[in-house]
Amino acid sequence: MCVYCDLWGDGMIWYLNPKNYPRHMYTLPKKDIAPKAAGGEADPAGYINAERSLVDALEKGPEEFEATLKLLRDGMDLMQGSVGGWMGQAVPLRDAEKMVEIASPKGLIACICRHHMLGREERTRPEMTCMGLGVGMLKWERWPERYKGGVYWVSTEEAKEWLRDLDKKGFMHSLMMFGPRFIGGICNCDYPVCDALAMRLDFGFNMLKGHHVAVVDYDLCNGCGICAQRCQFGALKMGVTQDKANIDQMRCFGCGLCETGCPRGAISLVERAKLPALQEVW
């Protein structure tokens, strides 16, 4: 299990624990709380340094992470959505579908990464690639850019169908957070457009690997190469000698795009925790 499971899982994969959806975020403000003092000039490296210190703390264990996070929160406001040095975690389609069964309401919204990376605004339902989950969805009014294209509220079955359609197109799924613990949505994106994914692959922090890794059944693989085209992480290549798919499990994030894209069912996902060499590779 990952460190998030140690902190918030209660014996299960943490994002399948209903306690970790943001129903507790809407609370009445406490009385007689003095407003925060105005901050000085922002340190351009402050956020990155904070992220790196949290990554270092996570490597030492959950207790060190919690202590470091408290120190940072006492001294500064971390970027909304950041937790433990990562802004999310890769999830396969099967788990994303379970997530939409847990949280309600569900709303399709525009992707902020595509907006500031490509200048592309998602204004209609077919264009939208992000989904807000739970009552935290109602907090997006603090970031009006998210609502420029409107919100399309969907049922559980509509949400699943939307996820399946994006999966077919090759978008990998990852969860988004509202600060420590609370899951606020599902992002569907690709490298290098996705901020969280690009920061993890290019700079070594942001976005935790998923709870699974992919394996190939060489008796079923016919070397079509579809899986390699869908991998966002450089974990898949076509072996020259055997002319079959080869997976570098150390680089695999367990997103499952290779599994869902294989026309012969030659790729499957196994739990990372069951492979001794990968139990601590997150």
Q: Give the count of domains, the chain.
A: 2
Portion of the chain with pLDDT greater than 70, in percent: 77
The mean pLDDT value for 153-171 works out to: 96
pLDDT averaged over every residue in the chain: 82
Among 156, 189, 208, the domain-final residue is: 208
**Which of 106-120, 146-160, 256-270 is the most confident on average?**
256-270
The mean pLDDT value for 123-137 works out to: 84
Residue 192 is assigned to a structural domain of this protein:
yes
Work out the pLDDT band at 78, boundaries 50, 70, 90.
Answer: very low
**Which of 27-36, 73-82, 144-153, 223-232 is the most confident on average?**
223-232
Among 208, 234, 254, the domain-final residue is: 208
224, 120: one domain? no
Among 193, 208, 223, the domain-final residue is: 208
The reported pLDDT for the residue numbered 41 is 43
The reported pLDDT for the residue numbered 147 is 67
Residue 252 is assigned to a structural domain of this protein:
yes
101, 222: one domain? no
66, 173: one domain? yes
CA distances, 136 to each of 155, 176, 182 (Å): 17, 11, 9
Contact 245/228 with Cβ under 8 angstroms? yes
Tens-digit pLDDT profile for residues 215-248: 999 999 999 999 999 999 999 999 999 899 999 9
Residue 41 is assigned to a structural domain of this protein:
no
64, 198: one domain? yes
268, 141: one domain? no
Q: Check whether 132 has a pLDDT greater than 60.
A: yes
89, 71: one domain? yes
Portion of the chain with pLDDT greater than 90, in percent: 44
- Which range is least confidently modeled, 26-30, 152-156, 188-192, 232-236? 26-30
10, 86: one domain? yes
Question: Where is pLDDT greater, at 231 or 109?
Answer: 231
Phi, psi of 4 (to 5 degrees): -65, -35
76, 189: one domain? yes
Amino acid at 270: V
148, 249: one domain? no
Residue 36 is assigned to a structural domain of this protein:
no
Residue 30 is assigned to a structural domain of this protein:
no
Work out the pLDDT band at 180, boundaries 50, 70, 90.
Answer: low
227, 120: one domain? no
The mean pLDDT value for 156-168 works out to: 97
Q: Check whether 109 has a pLDDT greater than 80.
A: yes
Domain containing residue 220: 212-278
The mean pLDDT value for 259-268 works out to: 97
Residue 34 is assigned to a structural domain of this protein:
no
* Cis upstream peptide for 105 (omega within 30°): yes
The reported pLDDT for the residue numbered 68 is 78
Residue 89 is assigned to a structural domain of this protein:
yes
Tens-digit pLDDT profile for residues 20-53: 887 655 555 566 656 544 444 445 455 556 666 7
172, 274: one domain? no
Question: Where is pLDDT greater, at 33 or 59?
Answer: 59
Q: Check whether 136 has a pLDDT greater than 70.
A: no
Residue 167 is assigned to a structural domain of this protein:
yes
Return the CATH number at 220. Answer: 3.30.70.20
17, 147: one domain? yes
